[in-house]
Amino acid sequence: MSKCRKGDDLSLWLDQVPFSKPRRNISRDFSDGVLMAELLKYFFPKMVELHNYTPANCLVQKINNWLTLYRKVLSKLGVKLNKDQIELIASAAPDVVVPVLMSLKQKIASAQQKHEEECRQASHGSNLQNVLCFVQDKKQADAVFGIPMACEASNGQQLIVSMENMVPQRLLDEKLNEIAEKDDAINILIQKVSHLDTLLQLKDQRIRDLTQQLQYLQERSKESSKSVCHLDS
């Protein structure tokens, strides 16, 4: 692949990342490490804390940003950098950061491909387990509803799932009916609990009302007693 084509591919890849500032010159833009931190944050959000990387014009701070990035993130991803390379990148030396970005791009692509493959395998296994229910007695499978199913093994070969080990439709219907009955019972209990909760709230309100009335009567009684004492005196 030509250098121009690689540059175009890299630019398209970077375009998907919502950087905090527009890219104009890749060497200068990435010199302080902030855009690299944002790039890594986009693909590996748990590995990067952006507050550790501050925009800088000072070469020392730029180098510190890159050293932190390398220690905390890049080295763990298998991206190799030495001190001389970091100093050149921080100095915005032309095209020095490009191979680093290309290496990171390849590693991210490999990681994504591996993750997608693992997800496909996990999804395939989960779907197969959800569809197939096995019984001990193969003779019970005579009344199975459906047709033989084909699935793809991890090696790409097609497997035919035998119906003779699947749960009979009659047994499946019984279990579904049991589940429906239990759901109805649960809903009734929920309604009863809600009704009891309403009654408790009404009871609490009634107690508060009676308490207020009692306090009012007690205060009136005290006032009446004071009035009588005053008249007697």
pLDDT one-digit tens code per residue, 49-68? 999 899 999 999 999 999 99
CA distance 96 to 87: 10
* Least confident among 74-88, 97-111, 126-140, 216-230: 126-140
CA 113, distance to chain mean position in Å, is 19
Bridge partners (DSSP) listed for residue 134: 166
> How much is the pTM?
0.50
For 149, the 3-state DSSP assignment is: strand
Angle at 84 between CA 5 and CA 53, to 5 degrees: 80
Contact 141, 166 (CB under 8 A): yes
Q: What is the pLDDT of residues 101-121, one digit of tens each?
A: 998 988 888 888 887 777 777
Angle at 83 between CA 56 and CA 1, to 5 degrees: 90
Residue 222 or 227, more confident: 222
